[in-house]
Structure formats: structure tokens, C-alpha cells
Amino acid sequence: MPAQERTGLWLVGARGSVATTATAGLLALRARVAGPTGCVTELPAFAGVPLPGWDDLVIGGHDIVATPLEKRAEQLAGAGVLGHAVFAAVRAGLAEVDAEIRDGYHPATHTGAQADAAERLSADIRDFAVRHDLARVVVIDISSTEAPCPHLPEHDDLGALEQALADPARAVLPPSSLSAYAALKAGSPYVGFTPSAGITLPALQQLAAREGLPYAGCDGKTGETLLRTVLAPMFSARALKVRSWSGTNLLGGGDGETLADPVTVGSKLESKARGLAALLGDEVTAPLHIDNVPDLGEVKTAWDHVSFEGFLGARMSLQFTWTGYDSALAAPLVLDLARLVGAAHAAGQTGALTELGFFFKDPLGSDEHRFAEQTRRLTDWAATL
Amino acid sequence: MPAQERTGLWLVGARGSVATTATAGLLALRARVAGPTGCVTELPAFAGVPLPGWDDLVIGGHDIVATPLEKRAEQLAGAGVLGHAVFAAVRAGLAEVDAEIRDGYHPATHTGAQADAAERLSADIRDFAVRHDLARVVVIDISSTEAPCPHLPEHDDLGALEQALADPARAVLPPSSLSAYAALKAGSPYVGFTPSAGITLPALQQLAAREGLPYAGCDGKTGETLLRTVLAPMFSARALKVRSWSGTNLLGGGDGETLADPVTVGSKLESKARGLAALLGDEVTAPLHIDNVPDLGEVKTAWDHVSFEGFLGARMSLQFTWTGYDSALAAPLVLDLARLVGAAHAAGQTGALTELGFFFKDPLGSDEHRFAEQTRRLTDWAATL
Amino acid sequence: MPAQERTGLWLVGARGSVATTATAGLLALRARVAGPTGCVTELPAFAGVPLPGWDDLVIGGHDIVATPLEKRAEQLAGAGVLGHAVFAAVRAGLAEVDAEIRDGYHPATHTGAQADAAERLSADIRDFAVRHDLARVVVIDISSTEAPCPHLPEHDDLGALEQALADPARAVLPPSSLSAYAALKAGSPYVGFTPSAGITLPALQQLAAREGLPYAGCDGKTGETLLRTVLAPMFSARALKVRSWSGTNLLGGGDGETLADPVTVGSKLESKARGLAALLGDEVTAPLHIDNVPDLGEVKTAWDHVSFEGFLGARMSLQFTWTGYDSALAAPLVLDLARLVGAAHAAGQTGALTELGFFFKDPLGSDEHRFAEQTRRLTDWAATL
Amino acid sequence: MPAQERTGLWLVGARGSVATTATAGLLALRARVAGPTGCVTELPAFAGVPLPGWDDLVIGGHDIVATPLEKRAEQLAGAGVLGHAVFAAVRAGLAEVDAEIRDGYHPATHTGAQADAAERLSADIRDFAVRHDLARVVVIDISSTEAPCPHLPEHDDLGALEQALADPARAVLPPSSLSAYAALKAGSPYVGFTPSAGITLPALQQLAAREGLPYAGCDGKTGETLLRTVLAPMFSARALKVRSWSGTNLLGGGDGETLADPVTVGSKLESKARGLAALLGDEVTAPLHIDNVPDLGEVKTAWDHVSFEGFLGARMSLQFTWTGYDSALAAPLVLDLARLVGAAHAAGQTGALTELGFFFKDPLGSDEHRFAEQTRRLTDWAATL
């Protein structure tokens, strides 16, 4: 990546908890009021990789809510995600970023063809790039999880899709995929950090191929699934037979509310289950729950119970409880992805960046879920940039 | 390893829980009444490695207690380690192995020079090899943990050591190291599966070098430490800062009693602590307890509490509870080590087998504690045998 | 209770896990191969209460499965619920009890009016009493949980109910309530140890009143709910505000399978939720799951996470994990209830025995869920018998 | 208690975490910026008891550190114990209370007879009473835990004690007991909220009797022990046999540091162990640890593992993890004790207030550790005031 190049980070869902934490964090890093704990790209293994520096990243984005970043950050400070000192130091900067946020796409309020909406979204991204003289803009979706999206034939073919998008009577793409489409049309690399459809539709991957753009996803791996992909390989390496792996997730905040809807939670549960089955096979009993517990606020608690069999049929168990701030876990990864995907784009890489599986519950283009192996692949790949 | 070669497995502590479970398990595998769950060397990655087969292993050993294997196995069946069906199937075979167990060395009852004791122990191993026409005998120490051994100058120099051993007025070696000395003198590879001094003394490693023998250790990694070496690298890979890692181990059985002695438990705690410091650095607060809770019998329960810091200083935690039968976890690893060390010896390898760190809390000759990396090194190495 | 009186214990679901454990346990107590651990009525507080002795209890029952008690007990011994020594000691006795088990009522196989079925069930109980010269027979339902039963007008009025029962074209009572009806018609006190409808229907309570019979229920309190009724009063007594109480239950065995049916599990979840709301009020968020995890066998594991608020709004939490054999927890309570309800009947008590709330998740005729208070009421009441 | 009477609350350790939280809390209650969550005396059961109101309590105290309350409160706000809004509201009030804090007694800096020191401490309390026109001053010790105090003959006899106190060459009383002596000499009721010797010495109880003063203690029951006294009676009431009860406490803050000293921690461990033995008998294996984990700050985490036996010898377990702010748990109890002990003094009660066992790990004058029974006794007693 040539020196002095500036990279845009365009957040879909730019006023949510994760986005606010990522934005506040970037400002805090620049202001030297916080260190890069949780930022993978600051580890020694990435020292020589030509990544954009913290000072070279510029944030903008789309959102469908209007609560200013400053107010959202104040709530997060009250909830323990940000310290009050950090909040005070970044307050002014948040207002500047807030001015770079444009209205997102919402199917209930949009009239006309989806193609028009996409064009508007694309224009927002292009304008942002011009306004800030950016070499590229990485688009990352961290908006609320959508309900699973019914499959349509147009999702498999770019030509058919673009025809359908032009038809004002139809709405063939869910918002996350419309955002992905708009990003690609704006020439931007795209990252799906949620389990929503986003760029998983084949037609969009055709578009990325045509435009020569890289992309990555899906669904940031920040808690229970991270632990599962760390622990499951241990059982395999030791020839211990996992018989059941039960999980319960308690979460409050906006995420808890979104996932309280049984249809929406389907996306998330599917994404989580795929990893375990890939690691341990389908015969493992694996009940999994996500419960909305509003009083927990920004804290997420996961309890997992693993029952396994050892030598001569001995029955044993492992339990763990993980308690964390989801936003604090996700936000530095969003900054990492902006840097890495930006660098990949600068290096001319295209298509699914399978080496970024390290970051995702359901890695696009890869069946590798073992965390240690994902770590190795990530650092090996970064060394080639 | 040439076909038809038979390999001896000489267990120091041959009538303990782990030895009894390993012996019963080998007999059960041969009788096809149990599968190889927990046996790492039966994983696909080891398919082409020239390891001795289950039918090619012959067990004997030393012990200072007289309780027959059969009776010990009955107790373990009552405690849930073995099924009653397995016990019934292996009963006769246990009596045969029991006939191959010789009196171990006990400083309180031995009179004369330690060299004489070592000569007797060596002779037992050599006789065993002759009696069963064995190509080699792998000696594995699974006897009770000793109190930490005070350092003597003789421990650093083989010449001085042998001179001291010949002196009837002195007892320079702890029992575990005398066993290791005897094993090497009998031409046997040696494995220290306990935290006792064993082969860690430089003089004994000089002897192994002189005799061209391989060895491995120390302290089998079966529970809490296994999890720590799996989980700690996750925190590092994600740039999360571990602030404290507290652990409590509850165990009954003979091991609990042995470790209830505050001096003896020192060996174990040191061995456990070294790994965590190597993985995370010394600044992590890491209180660690081992409690003797007789009513737990063969079950071992470990609770760990990890406090860590994420992005912008957010404080989070991970707790786990591991509940397992220590013998069922250790026994298949003992069989794995017999096969792997036997194969290494057949392949002419000598010195510390650092690639076996996968099996140990405190790997001899290696600073690598990360479990996934240990797994990779083990399988890469096995492929070269 | 006059000396030498013998009391029958008629188990509905007499070949299930709980029944088999209760029967084996009674035989073991008589044979002096086990002590009365878990039997509340053997505590000093009950020393002077005129309860039937272990030797005065005679067991029979109904079931719709044919697996002999002996075989079921053998499975339970394999699963760790019974020791092998106990099994050997009670084997012969189990066969004798098995001969006292009659076919239960199953709607799928019954033809004709429900009144005929009830008459047959009643006759089985009366015959049992005559055959063994019993002063009374306590009927306890420990059969599989039924799906929640839709309310019918006939459930509220005994006259209308009896008319409907006589109609071969109708089946107005669920099996559990038909059993309760038959018990009362046979002059037996009745205990509902499951969350099924049983005696909760007003028409059946009218019948009990008419016949002057005592009854008790519902749903034995053996694990998670027991702990909740112990812990919730602590928060209240300390003026701590519980904000959420989340629970997950993992269970295998027949119970796990029955409760895997989302309709059936409804009964259980409702019964569990009522207690918490009564203790802490309705505003507590309380997600609750019951998962079928077959590999756990007879073991039941519950994880609860309680989030509470203290002084000045400080947020704190309590988690617990309870791991137990459900049958071992329930069986002694079944024996206790046989003794206590038998004694109450002998003492001429009638109607809902509200002082037995100690034993139940959803105590009939009482709003008192606080366990310590239930304990006090039970012992005070027993002293009056 | 006559209307309009004002009650002093004299805190020994008035600048510690608990004292600061109690003081900030009282100010917040008065300012109506916080509710009385955690204050037992605000429960409906205490509605008619003639307790001093929040507006009638005046706080002063002794301390040997000089950090002002305001600064300490700011630290606690940063640590999550107080909200920032509460801190802002009470800031001015804290400075006023700070002006009422006098130098405590420190053996290292005091010269002369202990009697002189006691006289000075007493005078501070008397002056406080006069200055604020207080009807009485309740003294509560919440200073750091002392090392266990070696027994001297003078501790058993008031006459001998007073003679020894007058001797400048001797220091017969530990600081906590000197404080208790001074309190009684000032005519104040006394509460020992720590496990230090305080008023437990017989000579001091003789003094209280002579002066006609009530007192209570020892060691506030706020976490692990609270749960133990709630849970242990459940096992007893259900005739389940507890076999082991293992506990680990992780704490940071000043308390963690104080208790990191193995001698000092002895007091605490003894106090904790007595309760469990009283509840379950001495044969229960009960290893217990308190670890200093500075990074946990004000948070205290306890993990307990209970192994118990049920019917027919079935082995089961309960684990719990309690995570709380120790100061937030203790502070409202300190306010409750000030009110209750003040009211008891107004009502003319003298000697050990055994009905306050509800508040203590090691209740003075009572063997009743069962929490529900303690709750009943407390409310019954309060109704008589």
C-alpha cells in the first residue's frame, strides 16, 4: 500500500453499539488515550504488513436511526463499555464522524425501484471517497441481524438480479444485500460482519468478480463461537468423543431485542450451528438458545456445557461461562478488517478472502473453523501482502 | 519399525490408578470390548506411522505396593472409571500382567548403595525383555509425585553421580531419578509422566546421550493445564490482555492424598505455573490451589477464572469447570507414548523428544506450550518416523 | 396410625425410572443394604410421627410399558443411579413387585367409555388392598408428563364429568386425571408428582371432598426449582432486587425425550415459572429451557444465571450448576409422601394437604414457595398427626 | 425511640470502601437520588419498628489513613460501585462527613499507655455526640481485618485488663478491641462487622454488661457465607448428605491485599469455617481459599463446589459462582445495623443482640446459622422494639 494513501471505512449501521465503539476507539487510539488492546493487527506478527495507519482511516456510513453518535457513546459509557475519560476525549471527534453518516435503506420507507436506492447508497460512498480524497473505501456491515432471507432465482444470476432491481414493483434484495450491491457498484471491498444475507448471494459474488473486488464474511466471531472453535479442536486432537455441546446465550441491548424475534434469531443460530457441525460432525447433540435479557444491557453471557467420552467410555464434562461486552469484542475486529481488507484491495486481491476466516463464525469460502489454524493462515497471508 | 517386533512397556508405579487403567485398557482394546477413544495414535493423522500395534505391546513394571491389579481394577470399576463389562473381560489378563510386576525402589527399606538398587531395577527390565523377546522396553514413570528434590552438585555430572551412587552412605537420587537411571542403564527409552525429578537431572541426560537413548517428559497434561494451553493462545491471538488466571483443583484418590502434602504439591504447582507464565508472561496474577477432597474419589474437578481486558479497557471474564476421571484421561496417553517413543527409538532418535510436548505440562527441551502448535509439531514429526 | 397397619403404595408409572428407584430403594432399606439418605421422614424432626414403617409398605401399580422392573433396575445400575451391590440385593424383590403391576390406561388402545377404564383401574387398586390386607393404598402418579390438557366445562363439575365419562364416544379426561379419578373411587388418597393435570381439575377435588380423601401435588421439586425456592427468599430478605433469572435444563433419559416435545414441555415450564413469579414478582425476566440431551442418560444438569441489583444500583450476579440423578432425588420423596399421606389419611385429614408444599414445584392449595417456610410448615404439621 | 432523637454512626475505618459506600449511600438516600435497595430495614416487615430515619443519622469516625472520602468515592465510582450521578450528588456531603473523621489508633505510632489512647478515642466519640446533640452513637468497626490475636489472661477479666491498659510498657489489646473498649467507655453500643477480635474478648463483654450496653457481631455476611447459610439447610431439610464443600474467593481492592497476608487471612477463614461446621457437622471436607487478585478491584468472586450424596449413595454436585461488589453488599447492612442497634439501645436492651445473627458470619451469642431461621428471628425481635 503506497504511503500517504488514505482509506475510508464505511459502516452500514454506523450509529449502532459496535460502530460507535469502533469509532470512539479509533479516535481514542489517535488521541493516545487508549491502547490497541483487542486489535489483532497491532500484534508483532503484523508489524511489517503495509496496513493503513490509525491516522489514515476515515469513518463514514449509513444508518436508519438518527440518534447521534455522541449520545450513543454516552450510553455506552454509562454501561461500562467506554471509560468516561475516553468519552470526554473523543466527544468532539464523534460529532465530526456523525456528520459523515447518511440515511440508510429501509424497505418500509423506500419507494421506487431498488436500483434507485442502490444508486443513492453508492453515490454516498463515492462522494465520501471524493470528499476525503480516499484511495479506497472498505464497506463493513454491522447493522442489526435480518430475518433469514427466502431464496429467489434472481439471487443466483447477476443479469436476472439487475433486471429485477430495476422493477419498481419488486424488492428482491434484503437490505444487507442491497448494501453489498451498492458497495460493489461503488468499487468498494465489502465485509459482512453479521449473519444477514449480505454478499452471500451468488449474484453478488459474480458482481464482485466482475468488478475485481475482494470481500469477506460472515458474522463476527467474538464470544461463544470463538471459544467453540478453540476448544473443539482440543477434543479432536486428543481423540476424545464429544457427545453433546449445549449452549445458552443471554444478551440485552439492541442485539438482544433483535434476536428475541424467533424468525430473526434463526439466522444467528444457523450460523453458530454450522461451525460446530463442521468441527465435530453432525452427530453431536447441540441445543442452542439466545435469550433477550434486557437488564444485562451491553453485557453478553454465554454458558456452554460439553459432555464427552474418554478412554473406556468414561463420561466427563466441561462447562464454561463467558461474560463480555459484545461491542468491545467486536469493535477492534472491525478496525482490523478495515485495515486488512484495505491492504488486500491495494494488493490487487479479489474474491472471497478466505484467510480472514479467523474473524468469522461462518467463514466465506472456507471450511476451516479451527481457530489456531485460522490464526496461522491469517498471519501467513498477511505476510504476503 | 520392523514388522513382528514386540515392544515392552515398563510402568514405574505399575499398580496405581493410571497404570491399572492403561493395562486394563490395552487388554480391552485387544479383546475388542472397547474402542480407542482418547488414544491419539489411533487418529487418522497417525495412520501411516510405523507404530507397534496393540497386540505387540507387553506390559510389566515396578511398584512398591502389593495390591494386585485385579483388585485395583475392581475399585476403579466401582468408581466409574471402568465399566463392569470391561472389567469382566480383562480380569484374567490383569493377573498375567500382575505377575510381571517387580518390587520397586523405596528409600526407607533399601539398604546398601543406590547403585545396587539401580542394578536390580535394570536387571528386572532386562529380564523382562529377554523373557518376552522384546525389541525394546519403553519405561514410563507414572508413580506418585515426589516432593521437590534439593539440588546436589552430583546431579550435574554423570561421573560424580556414579561415584556417589556407589557410596552406601549416600542417597543422592530421588526414587524417580533412580528409576530413570536404571532404565537408561538397561538400554531403555524413558518417559517422565509425573512432575518428579526423574530424567530432568543433567547427569541423567548425559547418560541418555552416551547410551544414544531418547526420552521425554514431564508431567502428563490431562486437564486444567491442557485447557490453559488451548485457551491462553486464543487471548494472545485476539490481542486480549489476560490480567489474572486463578485456578482451584479438587481431587480425591491417591493423587489427592499425595498432593495434600504441601511440600509435594510444590512440584505440581511449579510445573503448572511454568506453562502459564510461558504463554502469557509473568505479570499475570495466577493463584493456584490443589485440594485433597477424598469423597471425589477418582474424579478431578478444576475451576479456572480468567479476568481479561479488551478494547478501551473493557473488563471481561471467562470461567470454566472441568470434571473428569484423571486416570481415564492419562491412561491412553501412556499407551500413545509407549508407541511413539518405541517408534522413535526404532528410528534411531536420541535425546529429548521435544515434539512430544503435546503430552506434557512442562515439555522437556521445548518452550512451546501452545496446544495447537504442539499438535502440529507432533503430527509433522510422526510423519517422519 | 394403629400399629401393625399395612399401607399400600400404588405407583402410576410403576416401571419408570423414579418408580424403579423408589421400589429398589424400599427393598434396600428393608434389607439394610442402604441407609435412608434423601428420606425426609427419617430426619429427627419426624421421630415421633406415627408413620408406616419401611416394612409396612407394599408396592404395586399401573404402567403401560412391559419392561420388567428387574431389567429397568439393571439399566439404572449401569447408569450410576444404583450401586451394583444394591441391585444384587434387591433383584428378587423387584420381581415380586413386578407381579403386582397391572396394565395402565392408554387412550390409544382403550375402547369403550372412560368410566369402564376407570372402573378397571379402581378394581386393580381394591384387589391389591384385599390381596395384601392393606389398611389403605396411597396412589402416587409418577408417570410421564402429559401435554397440557385443554379445559372442558366437565372438568369443573363432578356430575357433568361422570355423565361424560359414561359416554363411549367421549374421552374427557387426560390419563393422569383418569388415574386420579380411579384412585379416589377406590377410596385412595392421591398424590400428583408430575405437572400433568391429575387431580387439579375442580371436579376431581369435589370427588375427593365427597369421599373424604386427602390429596397433594403437584410436580415433585427435586432440582432447579428446589434451589430457586431456597435462593429467591435470600434476595428478598436482603432487599436485593432480582432483575433476571435465566435457566437451562439438560436432561436425557425418558424424561428428556418426553420433554423434547414442545407441547408437553409446556406443562413443565408453566409449573416451573409459577414458582419464580410467586417468589419474586412478574417483572423478573425469566427465560427457561428444557433440552433433551440423550447422552446425559439419567443425569440432569441445570444452569441458572441470576442478575440482581444491590445498593446504589450495583449490578451483581449469581450462577449455579446443579448436576444430579433425577430418579435418586425423586424416589425418596415418593416414599416420604406415601408415609405422610398414609398417616394423614389414618388421622382423618381430607382435602388438599397444603403443608406438603415442601415437596412440590406447584403446591396445591398454597401460595407459599419459600423452602424454609415450607420446611417449618411440614414439620409443624407432622407433629400434629 | 422518641421522635426527633438523632443517632450517631461512628465508623472505625471511616475512609475505607465500605464506609465510603455507606456514607455516600446515606447521603444519596437523603437526596433521593437512590432507593434503599439492599437496606433490610426498609422492607415491609420493619415498617412499624421505631428506627431512626435516614435524616436522623449523623456519620463520623476514626481512620488511620488520610485519603479524603471524596477521593475514595471517586475511585469507587470509577470501579463501578457508585454511579457517576450519585457521586456528583453526594460530593459536597462527603466533605462534611470527612470533617468528622478523627485519627484512629495505630500501635506503630502510638506512645504511652493504651489507656491513654482509649481515652482519646472515647473523647472523640463523646465530643461528636455533644457537637451534634445525639441521643446515642452506635460504633461500628469496618476497618481492615487484623491478624488473629494471641490470647492473654487479661482478655478474660476486666479488672486485670484495665490494670494492663494503664501500663505504658504493655499493649494488651489489638486495635479492634481497643476501639471496642473506647466505644463502651463512651457509652456507645458496639458492632463488630469484621472478623477481628473486637468485642469478642470476655473482659470487654464484662464492661458492656457493667455499662448496660448492647453489642453485636461478628463479621458481616455478604457473599459466599450468606449463600452457604442459605444452601446448607436445604441439604439438611432434604436429608441429603454433604460430603465436601470447597470454596475459593478471589478479591482485589484493599481487602484482597489485607487478606493476602497468610496470618491475617487466618481470622477470616476461621470465621467462615465455623459456620459451615455448625450447619453440617465437622466431617465435611471443606478446603477454603482467599486469593488476592488485584485486577478484580472492588469485585469479589466466589466459587463453591458442593459434593453430596443422595438416595442409595448417588453422587451429585452443586456449584455456584457469586460475583459482587463487596462494598455495595456490606454498606446497606452497616446502615441497617446502625438503625437496629440504635433502636435496641433506646429500648434498653443490653448484652449480645443474638437476634442480629442474620447479619453475621459468626454470630455473637448464637449457634443459629440457618439464614431463613435468622431472618425469622430478626423480624420477630424487631417487632418487639
pLDDT for C67-104, tens place per residue? 999 999 999 998 889 988 899 999 999 999 999 999 99
pLDDT of residue B1: 56
Q: Count the alpha carbons within 13 Å of D164 in the hemisphere toward its beta carbon.
A: 17
pLDDT of residue D357: 97
- Per the structure block, which three cell numbers stand in for D351? 448484652
Q: Which chain C residues touch D228 with a CB distance below 8 Å?
A: none
- Residue type at position C345: H
Place of cell 473428569: B324
Q: Is the per-residue pLDDT at C302 higher than 90?
A: yes
Local confidence band at A210 (pLDDT 50, 70, 90 cut-offs): very high
Mutate which of B250, B298, B316 to disrupt the D interface (most D C-beta within 10 Å)?
B250
Interface check for B372 against chain A (CB to CB < 8 A): the answer is yes
Place of cell 527441551: B365
- Per the structure block, which three cell numbers stand in for D214? 448492647
Sign (positive or negative) of CA dihedral D301, D305, D306, D310: positive
CA distance C234 to chain D (A): 7
- Per the structure block, which three cell numbers stand in for D350? 443490653
- Arithmetic mean of pLDDT over chain A: 94
Q: Which chain B residues touch C83 with a CB distance below 8 Å?
A: 78
A314 Cβ contact list (under 8 Å, min separation 6): B80, B81, B324, B325, B328
- Chains B, C: CB pairs < 8 Å: 7
Sheet of A214-217, strands arranged across: A101-103, A57-63, A7-12, A136-141, A190-192, A214-217, A351-352
Indicate the DSSP class of residue D313.
G
| Residue D289: strand, helix, or coil | strand
The partner residue sitting opposite A293, judged by closest CB among C250, C285, C294, is: C285
pLDDT of residue B184: 98
Beta bridge partners of B305: B246, B319
Q: Do B25 and A237 touch (CB under 8 A)?
A: no
Instruction: Give ranges for CATH 3.40.50.720 in chain C.
Output: 7-219+328-382
Closest CA relative to residue C323, chosen from C300, C291, C289:
C300
Q: Exposed/middle/buried for D339, CB within 10 Å: 0-12, 13-18, 19+?
A: buried
Closest CA relative to residue A151, chosen from A129, A172, A130:
A172
Best-predicted range by mean pLDDT (B271-280, D75-84, D180-189): D180-189
Q: Do D37 and C239 touch (CB under 8 A)?
A: yes
Q: Which chain A residues touch C308 with a CB distance below 8 Å?
A: none
Place of cell 447521534: A68
Average pLDDT over residues A104-108: 93
Q: Which chain A residues touch D84 with a CB distance below 8 Å?
A: 78, 84
> Under a CB-based contact definition with an 8 Å cutoff, are residues D40 and D333 in contact?
yes
Place of cell 507414548: B337
What is the CATH architecture of B7-219+328-382? Answer: 3-Layer(aba) Sandwich (3.40)
CA distance D233 to chain C (A): 8
pLDDT of residue C1: 56
Average pLDDT over residues B170-193: 98
Indicate the DSSP class of residue A314.
-
pLDDT of residue B262: 72
pTM (predicted TM-score): 0.95
| Residue A270: strand, helix, or coil | helix
Query: How many residues would you count in chain D?
Result: 385
Place of cell 494451553: B229
Interface check for B241 against chain D (CB to CB < 8 A): the answer is no
> Under a CB-based contact definition with an 8 Å cutoff, are residues A150 and A213 in contact?
no
Chain mean position to CA C373:
20
Beta bridge partners of B60: B10
Q: Is the per-residue pLDDT at C322 higher than 80?
A: yes
Q: Which chain A residues touch C296 with a CB distance below 8 Å?
A: 244, 307
- Per the structure block, which three cell numbers stand in for A296? 444485562
- Name the fold adopted by B224-324: Dihydrodipicolinate Reductase; domain 2 (3.30.360)
Local confidence band at A281 (pLDDT 50, 70, 90 cut-offs): confident
CA A187/CA A211 separation, integer angstroms:
7
- Residue type at position D176: S
Interface check for B307 against chain D (CB to CB < 8 A): the answer is yes
- Beta pairing class for C299-309 and C241-251: antiparallel
Question: What's the angle, vertex CA C87, arms to CA C83 and CA C93, rounded to 5?
Answer: 150
User: Which residue of chain B comes nearest to C81, CA vs CA?
Assistant: B80
pLDDT of residue B3: 55
Average pLDDT over residues A128-134: 98
Closest CA relative to residue D15, chosen from D59, D62, D58, D54:
D62
Q: What value does the CA radius of gyration of chain A take, rounded to a whole number of Å? A: 20
Q: Do B325 and A316 touch (CB under 8 A)?
A: yes
Q: Do A84 and D84 touch (CB under 8 A)?
A: yes
Closest CA relative to residue C199, chosen from C222, C211, C182, C220:
C182
- Arithmetic mean of pLDDT over chain D: 94
User: Which residue of chain D comes nearest to C371, CA vs CA?
Assistant: D234
Interface check for C40 against chain D (CB to CB < 8 A): the answer is yes
> Under a CB-based contact definition with an 8 Å cutoff, are residues C204 and C156 in contact?
no
User: Which residue of chain B comes nearest to A79, CA vs CA?
Assistant: B314
Q: Is the per-residue pLDDT at A380 higher than 90?
A: yes
Closest CA relative to residue D12, chosen from D148, D179, D214, D182:
D179
Average pLDDT over residues A263-282: 78
Interface check for C244 against chain A (CB to CB < 8 A): the answer is yes
Average pLDDT over residues B107-113: 90
E-assigned strands of chain A? 7-12, 57-63, 101-103, 136-141, 190-192, 214-217, 241-251, 288-292, 299-309, 315-325, 351-352
N-term to C-term CA, chain C? 9
Average pLDDT over residues A129-145: 97
DSSP string of A123-184, one letter each residue: HHHHHHHHHTT-SEEEEEE-SPPPPPPPP-GGGG-HHHHHHHHT-TT---S-HHHHHHHHHH
pLDDT of residue B2: 59
Q: Which chain A residues touch C289 with a CB distance below 8 Å?
A: 248, 287, 289
Closest CA relative to residue A207, chosen from A103, A351, A81:
A351
pLDDT of residue C2: 58
DSSP string of B259-298, one letter each residue: HHSHHHHHHHHHHHHHHHHHHH-TTSB--EEEEE-GGGTT
Mutate which of C23, C311, C327 to disrupt the D interface (most D C-beta within 10 Å)?
C311
- Beta pairing class for A241-251 and A299-309: antiparallel
> Under a CB-based contact definition with an 8 Å cutoff, are residues B253 and B75 in contact?
no
Average pLDDT over residues B149-153: 94
Chain B partners (3+ C-beta pairs within 8 A): A, C, D
Q: Do D246 and B287 touch (CB under 8 A)?
A: no
pLDDT of residue C89: 96
Average pLDDT over residues D264-270: 74
Q: How far is CA B268 from CA B12, B107, B264, B273, B289, in A?
A: 18, 21, 7, 9, 10
D147 Cβ contact list (under 8 Å, min separation 6): D261, D263, D264, D266, D267
Local confidence band at B129 (pLDDT 50, 70, 90 cut-offs): very high
> pLDDT (tens digit, 9 = 90+) per residue, A155-167?
999 999 999 999 9
Interface check for A301 against chain C (CB to CB < 8 A): the answer is yes
The partner residue sitting opposite B296, judged by closest CB among D244, D292, D295, is: D244
CA distance C368 to chain A (A): 27
Interface check for C301 against chain A (CB to CB < 8 A): the answer is yes
Interface check for C131 against chain B (CB to CB < 8 A): the answer is no
What is the CATH architecture of A224-325? Answer: 2-Layer Sandwich (3.30)
Sheet of D101-103, strands arranged across: D101-103, D57-63, D7-12, D136-141, D190-192, D214-217, D351-352
> pLDDT (tens digit, 9 = 90+) per residue, D185-198?
999 999 999 999 99
pLDDT of residue B92: 96
pLDDT of residue C106: 93
- Per the structure block, which three cell numbers stand in for C48? 415421633
Could you check whether the bond before residue D149 is cis, i.e. omega within 30 degrees of 0?
Answer: no
Q: Which chain A residues touch B25 with a CB distance below 8 Å?
A: 311-312
Interface check for C316 against chain A (CB to CB < 8 A): the answer is no
pLDDT of residue A79: 87
CA distance C272 to chain A (A): 17
Closest CA relative to residue B18, chosen from B90, B73, B92, B91:
B73
For helices A371-382 and A224-237, the axis angle rounded to 10 degrees is 110
Interface check for D305 against chain B (CB to CB < 8 A): the answer is yes
The partner residue sitting opposite B293, judged by closest CB among D246, D291, D296, is: D246
- Residue type at position C233: P
Average pLDDT over residues D265-287: 81
Average pLDDT over residues A81-87: 90
Q: Do C80 and B84 touch (CB under 8 A)?
A: no
> Under a CB-based contact definition with an 8 Å cutoff, are residues A280 and A240 in contact?
no
Residues 347-366 of A with CB under 8 A from B: 358
- Residue type at position A167: D
Average pLDDT over residues A353-370: 96
Q: Do A80 and D80 touch (CB under 8 A)?
A: yes
Beta bridge partners of D323: C317, D301
> pLDDT (tens digit, 9 = 90+) per residue, A176-208?
999 999 999 999 999 999 999 999 999 999 999
- Arithmetic mean of pLDDT over chain B: 94
CA distance C77 to chain B (A): 10
The partner residue sitting opposite B293, judged by closest CB among D285, D292, D303, is: D285
Higher-confidence position of D90 and D276: D90
For helices B371-382 and A371-382, the axis angle rounded to 10 degrees is 90
Interface check for C305 against chain D (CB to CB < 8 A): the answer is no
CA D171/CA D161 separation, integer angstroms:
10
Q: Count the alpha carbons within 13 Å of A231 in the hemisphere toward its beta carbon.
A: 25
Instruction: Give ranges for CATH 3.30.360.10 in chain D.
Output: 224-325
CA distance D13 to chain B (A): 28
CA distance D33 to chain A (A): 16
> Under a CB-based contact definition with an 8 Å cutoff, are residues C61 and C10 in contact?
yes
Q: Which chain D residues touch B301 with a CB distance below 8 Å?
A: 305
Q: Do D241 and C37 touch (CB under 8 A)?
A: yes
Q: Is the per-residue pLDDT at B266 higher than 90?
A: no
Q: Do D243 and B319 touch (CB under 8 A)?
A: no
Could you check whether the bond before residue C149 is cis, i.e. omega within 30 degrees of 0?
Answer: no
Q: Do D84 and A80 touch (CB under 8 A)?
A: no
What b-and-e string marks burial along B114-137, b requiring 16 or more CB atoms within 10 Å of the CB? bbebbebbbebbbebbeeeebbbb
Local confidence band at B204 (pLDDT 50, 70, 90 cut-offs): very high
pLDDT of residue C78: 85
Q: Which chain C residues touch D321 with a CB distance below 8 Å?
A: 317-320
User: Which residue of chain B comes nearest to A228, CA vs CA?
Assistant: B231
> pLDDT (tens digit, 9 = 90+) per residue, B327-350?
999 999 999 999 999 999 999 999
Interface check for C88 against chain B (CB to CB < 8 A): the answer is no
> Under a CB-based contact definition with an 8 Å cutoff, are residues D310 and D207 in contact?
no
User: Which residue of chain C comes nearest to B82, CA vs CA?
Assistant: C78
- Per the structure block, which three cell numbers stand in for A142? 454491522
C3 Cβ contact list (under 8 Å, min separation 6): none
The partner residue sitting opposite A243, judged by closest CB among C246, C285, C295, is: C295
Question: What's the angle, vertex CA B261, arms to CA D304 and CA B62, rounded to 5?
Answer: 115
Indicate the DSSP class of residue B95.
H
Local confidence band at B126 (pLDDT 50, 70, 90 cut-offs): very high
